[in-house]
């Protein structure tokens, strides 16, 4: 490639950034239409029923959670004004905001919280069902107090970190007595948020307009938000350049296009505002394959892959080597010092020799099938890189490509794979969606869970203890222990850490100012002329 | 009357084919790993197994393949296309929403490809082996050889990003909320690039067929006779040569209508048009069997309708066919 390398381009984009102080001094301008790239159309838009970035990007502006994350990443009040827990962690009380109304004019009360928690989070919401597994009741002593009762201790920190994603409230009066999955409000949501749902044309666009009765006085600044459904990534980049789209979230453009746009002074390509959405690239081992059940072979595979080289040449500066299942952006639970597997081809060869896999004809020791997940360009690149790296140590790799439904079915249900590679998404607390990758006992077919044919009773015990430990320091120690153990056993290797990229048109102000900004309500976002 | 009977016979013959296609597709999709709940799980980013089992019951996926196929065929007899898993409403209304964009795109492209293809073919044939012929044939070759997604993207880069004459994609300016003539004009501006992109490859085919068939007819005896009668060159071309040379072109329309529906998947994706092509692609990825079968059904009806019109045109151009 002639001209600047990808790394240089990313650095240049940083240098060209407008200083934060300059933005802060500007007076917000009212009005304007924010057009947003909507790459993954969803079946529903209600975030109390489906936890995914594709739902938050729309539903998160219309409905609101009890708490969100502030700029520093700490829980901040939204529909809940304050919270407290009993020392045993079995009752957590939320004081709710008063004077909030739904978009249809009805008042927001604790009955809405009770209904949403018991009927949606506990029964339907993915990850919510696990988080609220031991929730027995939500009591409503008055219209603005909700008491969550738990059968087993619920760490307050875990609940508060889970709620920004898994704590959206739906209106009881709209859903009660209906078939919740079929309710028309699922695709025409009614919320308390800064924007009111207007129209959804499948395959084309979604429109929401300013909520004049929003509880934060004088907000939002924008008149409308329009989401444009664009599935072709090259077309989305062109629309970005033509000004038809002002914001593309969650790394939805092609890497090459983002590199190009980062060089253009009209755009900003950044991880800012996505810190709460960290992910790690995985290599998942199937222990039903005898070779892979041997720890020496798993370690050899890890030692055979030059992660820093891959990152530097394919992913640019927004990725970095990962050290385990808990990424470094997790201030509370990240603990360095667990066993690591640096690039060492000689060691890899030695380990494979020791394991009794001698090189046969053509220098091949044995063959493996690798199933890469179909989401994300980086996974496809990584799969090829794994293939090329492993052939050097005598392991022949055949890449088996499938689409999303096929990948999930063959890996997590049929266990028809040797190696799989995809993303593990870290959601603020290891108990939300990380420990399920290691805990035994997940039913067959549950995606992104331990389906490796591997169990470790000691690790199961640590996971269970941590999930109900109410003392923050002890919890932290348990997770440090957990990371060390899984890095030693290596049922899944998570060698790369990444954060989603946002592409902003520089007319956007107050964009990316919280760690889950793309999912948040955008009440203070405005457009410069 | 005879013509109508002919058309009805054709229609009756296409019915078994339609059933075979639907059953075949149904069974073929059973071979694809994963079902619509797996696709939904991928979209959600995870969920537990109880939710998945619940959803499978909800979508009727816990029944056997034979039972589901039987139920589907029975519903089809009652003209019920079923319920779409990804859109949460009847398949018929999902398809109806997507039909206008596809029809406009297809009709626009067919019209453009064949009118310009015909005109260029005639010009090329009249000036055979002179510079206009060489120019037109070369252009035709370029259009034919260029993949339409590339052509579409380049058109966007040129006309939308640099010149900013036309919108880069979509189906109308949603933010402005136009009505009446303004809305029609607005939609037209959004359709220019996709129609041209889809049409160019068919234009190339049409002009080559037209040129060849003009050249063939030009050398025939009745044309020499017409010339000997002293008819003007324009009249010979318009009345005698063109009319006879049009028959293969009309055949082509019938054949290309189906191909065009397929080609529109690419064009609809590049220009983000809400058409049937993209819907079909989405249904495959999401394993939404009902929607996919519905699209096949409607597409088959469309192709049958176009071929019916082609049959009528044949009769008009060459009365011997009916007799």
- Identify the pLDDT of residue A15: 39
Q: What is the pLDDT of residues A435-454, one digit of tens each?
A: 989 998 887 877 888 999 99
- Residue A109 to residue A118: CA distance in whole angstroms: 15
Block residue for tokens 């980049």: A237
If asked whether residues A13 and A161 sit together in one domain, one would say no
Shortest distance between the Cα of A344 and any Cα of chain B, in A, equals 34
Pick the closest to residue A507 from A240, A303, A246, A223 (CA basis).
A246
Of all residues in chain B, the one with the smallest CA distance to A122 is B51
CB–CB of B272 and A407 under 8 A? no
Q: What is the mean pLDDT of residues B15-38?
A: 82
B43 pLDDT higher than 80: no
In a domain, A54, yes or no: no
If asked whether residues A362 and A457 sit together in one domain, one would say yes
A208 pLDDT higher than 90: yes
Q: Collapsing DSSP states into helix, strand and coil, what is residue A80?
A: strand
Phi, psi (degrees; rounded to nearest 5) at A191: -140, -165
Please, what is the average pLDDT of chain A?
90
Q: Which candidate in A242, A278, A282 is best for mutational testing of the B interface (most B CBs within 10 A)?
A: A242
Q: Which candidate in B34, B161, B189 is best for mutational testing of the A interface (most A CBs within 10 A)?
A: B34
In a domain, A352, yes or no: yes
B129 pLDDT higher than 90: no
CB–CB of B33 and A187 under 8 A? no
Q: What is the CATH number of the domain that holds A215?
A: 3.40.190.10
Q: What is the mean pLDDT of residues A244-254?
A: 92
Domains in chain A, number: 3
CB–CB of B98 and A234 under 8 A? no
| CB nearest B169 (choices: A53, A235, A448) | A235
Are A127 and A51 in contact by the 8 Å Cβ rule? The answer is yes
Domain boundary residue among A123, A158, A180? A180
Q: What is the mean pLDDT of residues A160-164?
A: 92
- Give the CA dihedral A238, A242, A247, A253, nearest 10 degrees: 10
Q: Which residues of A124-223 form beta strands (DSSP E)?
A: 135-142, 145-150, 195-201, 205-210
DSSP labels, A213-252: T-SSTT----SEEEEEE---HHHHHHHHHTTS-SEE-TT-
A9 pLDDT higher than 70: no
Are B321 and B315 in contact by the 8 Å Cβ rule? The answer is yes
If asked whether residues A106 and A222 sit together in one domain, one would say no
Q: What is the mean pLDDT of residues A171-179?
A: 92
If asked whether residues A99 and A218 sit together in one domain, one would say no
- Residue A368 to residue A52: CA distance in whole angstroms: 32
What are the residues facing A228 on neighbouring strands? A37, A205
- Residue A105 to residue A36: CA distance in whole angstroms: 27
In a domain, A188, yes or no: no
The structure's pTM equals 0.82
- Identify the pLDDT of residue A10: 43
For CA atoms A438, A443, A446, A452, the dihedral sign is positive
Among A119-133, A488-502, B308-322, the range scoring the smallest mean pLDDT is: B308-322
- Identify the pLDDT of residue A25: 59
If asked whether residues A306 and A422 sit together in one domain, one would say yes
Phi, psi (degrees; rounded to nearest 5) at A398: -110, 125
- Identify the pLDDT of residue B177: 65
A111 pLDDT higher than 90: yes
If asked whether residues A29 and A159 sit together in one domain, one would say no
Please, what is the average pLDDT of chain B?
82
If asked whether residues A350 and A237 sit together in one domain, one would say no
What domains appear along chain B, each with residue ranges and CATH number?
Answer: 98-288 (1.10.3720.10)
Select the highest-mean-pLDDT range: A480-489, B113-122, B207-216: A480-489
A16 pLDDT higher than 70: no
Fill in the DSSP letter of residue A184.
G
Q: What is the mean pLDDT of residues B275-279?
A: 86
DSSP H or E run through A38: strand A33-38
Of all residues in chain B, the one with the smallest CA distance to A437 is B46
If asked whether residues A222 and A101 sit together in one domain, one would say no
If asked whether residues A226 and A349 sit together in one domain, one would say no
- Residue A168 to residue A154: CA distance in whole angstroms: 19
CB–CB of B175 and A238 under 8 A? no
Q: What is the mean pLDDT of residues A398-415?
A: 90
A7 pLDDT higher than 60: no
In a domain, A438, yes or no: yes
If asked whether residues A108 and A17 sit together in one domain, one would say no
**Bigger pLDDT: A376 vs A116:** A116
Q: What is the CATH number of the domain that holds A151?
A: 3.90.76.10
Shortest distance between the Cα of B227 and any Cα of chain A, in A, equals 54
Range of the structural domain that residue A309 is part of:
278-499
Q: What is the mean pLDDT of residues B17-38?
A: 82
Shortest distance between the Cα of A124 and any Cα of chain B, in A, equals 7
Residue A126 contacts B, CB cutoff 8 Å = yes
SS (H, E, C) chain B: CHHHHHHHHHHHHHHHHHHHHHHHHHHHHHHCCCCHHHHHHHHHCCCCHHHHHHHHHHCCCCCCHHHHHHHHHHHHHCCCCCECCCCCCEHHHHHHHHHHHHHHHHHHHHHHHHHHHHHHHHHHHHCCCCHHHHHHHHHHHHHHHCCHHHHHHHHHHHHHHHCCCCCCCCCCCCCCCCCHHHHHHHHHHHHHHHHHHHHHHHHHHHHHHHHHHHHHHHCCHHHHHHHHHCCCHHHHHHHHHHHHHHHHHHHHHHHHHHHHHHHHHHHHHHCCCCCHHHHHHHHHHCCCHHHHHHHHHHHHHHHHHHHHHHHHHHHHHCHHHCC
Tell me the chain A residues in contact with residue B271 when contact means C-beta distances shorter than 8 Å.
Answer: 235
Tell me the chain B residues in contact with residue A408 when contact means C-beta distances shorter than 8 Å.
Answer: 34, 38, 41-42
Domain boundary residue among A180, A206, A223? A180
Rg of chain B on CA atoms, in Å: 24
- Identify the pLDDT of residue B182: 78
A205 pLDDT higher than 80: yes
What are the residues facing A420 on neighbouring strands? A284, A371
Of all residues in chain B, the one with the smallest CA distance to A447 is B46
A313 pLDDT higher than 50: yes
Q: What is the pLDDT of residues A252-277, one digit of tens each?
A: 998 888 988 999 999 999 999 998 88
Residue A404 contacts B, CB cutoff 8 Å = yes
Q: What is the pLDDT of residues B81-95, one digit of tens each?
A: 888 877 878 888 888
Degrees to nearest 5, angle at CA A427 with A426 and A428: 110
If asked whether residues A408 and A313 sit together in one domain, one would say yes
**Bigger pLDDT: A65 vs A15:** A65
- Identify the pLDDT of residue A150: 95
Shortest distance between the Cα of B92 and any Cα of chain A, in A, equals 14
Count of C-beta atoms within a 10 Å radius of residue B233: 11
| CB nearest A230 (choices: B164, B169, B286) | B169
Are A422 and A375 in contact by the 8 Å Cβ rule? The answer is yes
**Bigger pLDDT: B151 vs B262:** B151
Peptide bond into B249 cis (omega under 30): no
| CB nearest B33 (choices: A41, A241, A409) | A409
A14 pLDDT higher than 70: no
CB–CB of B39 and A44 under 8 A? no
Phi, psi (degrees; rounded to nearest 5) at A167: -130, 30
A76 pLDDT higher than 80: yes
- Residue B139 to residue B206: CA distance in whole angstroms: 13
Q: What is the mean pLDDT of residues B173-177?
A: 65
% of chain A at pLDDT higher than 70? 95
Q: What is the mean pLDDT of residues B315-322?
A: 73
Block residue for tokens 């252009």: B139
- Identify the pLDDT of residue A99: 92
Of all residues in chain A, the one with the smallest CA distance to B37 is A405
Tell me the chain B residues in contact with residue A53 when contact means C-beta distances shorter than 8 Å.
Answer: 45
Fill in the DSSP letter of residue A19.
P
Q: Collapsing DSSP states into helix, strand and coil, what is residue A65?
A: strand
**Bigger pLDDT: B45 vs A405:** A405
Tell me the chain B residues in contact with residue A181 when contact means C-beta distances shorter than 8 Å.
Answer: 58
**Bigger pLDDT: B24 vs B320:** B24
A171 pLDDT higher than 70: yes
Q: What is the CATH number of the domain that holds A338?
A: 3.10.105.10
A116 pLDDT higher than 90: yes
- Identify the pLDDT of residue A421: 96
Residue A437 contacts B, CB cutoff 8 Å = no
- Residue A306 to residue A293: CA distance in whole angstroms: 22
Pairing outcome for strands A278-285 and A419-421: antiparallel
Pick the closest to residue B104 from B192, B178, B218 (CA basis).
B192
Q: What is the pLDDT of residues A30-71, one digit of tens each?
A: 989 999 999 888 888 999 988 888 899 999 999 999 999 998
- Identify the pLDDT of residue B293: 87
Are A423 and A251 in contact by the 8 Å Cβ rule? The answer is no
Residue A16 contacts B, CB cutoff 8 Å = no
Block residue for tokens 């919740």: A180
Degrees to nearest 5, angle at CA A49 with A143 and B61: 140
In a domain, A299, yes or no: yes
CB–CB of B286 and A405 under 8 A? yes
Q: Which candidate in B31, B41, B270 is best for mutational testing of the A interface (most A CBs within 10 A)?
A: B41
| CB nearest B167 (choices: A224, A244, A414) | A244
In a domain, A218, yes or no: yes
% of chain B at pLDDT higher than 90? 0
What pLDDT band is residue A214 in, cutting at 50, 70 and 90?
A: very high
CA A28, chain centre distance (Å): 30
If asked whether residues A165 and A224 sit together in one domain, one would say no
Residue A207 contacts B, CB cutoff 8 Å = yes
């Amino acid at each position: 490639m002639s001209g600047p390398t990808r790394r240089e381009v990313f650095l240049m984009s940083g240098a060209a950034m407008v200083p934060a102080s300059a933005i802060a001094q500007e007076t917000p301008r009212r009005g304007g239409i924010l057009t947003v790239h909507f790459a993954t159309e969803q079946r529903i838009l209600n975030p109390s029923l489906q936890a995914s970035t594709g739902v938050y990007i729309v539903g998160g502006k219309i409905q609101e959670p009890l708490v969100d994350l502030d700029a520093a990443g700490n829980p901040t009040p939204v529909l809940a004004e304050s919270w407290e827990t009993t020392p045993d962690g079995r009752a957590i009380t939320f004081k709710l905001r008063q004077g909030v109304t739904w978009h249809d004019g009805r008042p927001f009360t604790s009955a809405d919280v009770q209904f949403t928690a018991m009927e949606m989070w506990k029964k339907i919401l993915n990850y919510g069902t696990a988080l609220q597994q031991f929730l027995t009741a939500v009591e409503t002593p008055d219209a603005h107090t909700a008491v969550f009762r738990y059968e087993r201790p619920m760490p307050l920190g875990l609940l508060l970190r889970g709620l920004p994603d898994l704590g959206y409230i739906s209106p009881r009066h709209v859903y009660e007595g209906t078939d919740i999955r079929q309710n028309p409000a699922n695709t025409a949501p009614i919320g308390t948020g800064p924007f009111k749902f207007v129209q959804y044309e499948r395959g084309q666009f979604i429109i929401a307009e300013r909520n004049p009765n929003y509880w934060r006085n004088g907000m939002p600044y924008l008149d409308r938000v329009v989401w444009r459904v664009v599935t072709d990534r090259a077309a989305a980049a062109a629309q970005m350049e033509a000004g038809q789209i002002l914001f593309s979230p969650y790394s939805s453009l092609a890497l090459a296009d983002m590199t190009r746009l980062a060089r253009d002074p009209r755009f900003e390509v950044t991880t800012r505002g996505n810190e709460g959405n960290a992910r790690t690239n995985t290599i998942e081992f199937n222990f039903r394959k005898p070779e892979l059940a041997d720890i020496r072979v798993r370690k050899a595979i890890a030692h055979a892959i030059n992660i820093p080289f891959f990152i530097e040449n394919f992913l640019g500066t927004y990725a970095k080597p990962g050290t385990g299942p808990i990424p470094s952006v997790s201030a509370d639970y990240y603990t360095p010092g667990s066993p690591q597997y640096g690039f060492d081809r000689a060691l890899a060869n030695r380990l494979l020799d020791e394991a009794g896999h001698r090189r046969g004809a053509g220098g091949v020791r044995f063959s493996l099938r690798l199933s890469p997940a179909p989401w994300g360009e980086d996974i496809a690149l990584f799969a090829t890189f794994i293939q090329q790296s492993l052939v050097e140590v005598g392991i022949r790799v055949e890449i088996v490509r499938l689409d999303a439904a096929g990948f999930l079915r063959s890996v997590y249900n049929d266990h028809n794979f040797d190696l799989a590679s995809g993303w593990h998404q870290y959601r603020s607390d290891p108990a939300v969606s990380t420990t399920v990758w290691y805990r035994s006992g997940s039913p067959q077919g549950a995606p992104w869970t331990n389906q490796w044919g591997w169990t470790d009773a000691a690790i199961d015990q640590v996971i269970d203890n941590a999930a109900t430990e109410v003392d923050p320091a002890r919890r932290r120690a348990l997770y440090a222990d957990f990371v060390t153990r899984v890095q030693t056993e290596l049922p899944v290797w998570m060698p790369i850490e990444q954060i989603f990229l946002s592409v902003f048109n520089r007319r956007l102000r107050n964009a990316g100012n919280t760690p889950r900004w793309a999912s948040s309500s955008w009440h203070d976002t405005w457009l410069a002329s | 009357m005879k013509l109508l009977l002919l058309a009805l016979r054709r229609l009756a013959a296409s019915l078994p084919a339609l059933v075979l296609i639907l059953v075949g597709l149904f069974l073929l999709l059973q071979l694809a790993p994963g079902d619509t709940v797996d696709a939904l799980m991928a979209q959600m980013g995870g969920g537990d197994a109880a939710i998945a089992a619940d959803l499978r019951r909800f979508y009727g996926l816990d029944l056997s393949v034979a039972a589901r196929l039987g139920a589907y065929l029975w519903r089809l007899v009652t003209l019920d296309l079923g319920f779409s898993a990804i859109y949460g409403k009847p398949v018929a209304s999902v398809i109806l929403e997507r039909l206008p964009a596809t029809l406009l795109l297809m009709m626009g492209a067919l019209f453009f490809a064949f009118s310009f293809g015909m005109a260029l073919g005639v010009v090329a044939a009249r000036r055979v082996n002179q510079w206009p012929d060489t120019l037109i044939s070369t252009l035709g070759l370029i259009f034919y050889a260029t993949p339409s997604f590339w052509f579409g993207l380049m058109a966007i880069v040129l006309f939308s990003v640099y010149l900013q004459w036309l919108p880069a994609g979509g189906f109308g300016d949603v933010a402005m909320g136009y009505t009446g003539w303004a809305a029609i004009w607005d939609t037209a501006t959004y359709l220019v690039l996709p129609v041209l992109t889809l049409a160019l490859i068919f234009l190339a085919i049409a002009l080559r067929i037209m040129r060849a068939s003009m050249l063939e007819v030009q050398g025939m005896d009745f044309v020499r006779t017409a010339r000997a009668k002293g008819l003007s060159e324009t009249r010979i071309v318009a009345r005698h040569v063109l009319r006879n040379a049009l028959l293969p072109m009309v055949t082509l329309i019938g054949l290309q209508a189906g191909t065009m529906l397929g080609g529109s998947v690419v064009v609809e994706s590049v220009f983000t048009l809400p058409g049937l092509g993209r819907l079909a692609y989405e249904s495959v990825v999401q394993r939404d069997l009902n929607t996919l079968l519905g699209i096949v059904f409607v597409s088959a009806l469309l192709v049958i309708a176009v071929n019916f019109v082609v049959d009528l045109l044949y009769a008009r151009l060459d009365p011997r066919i009916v007799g």
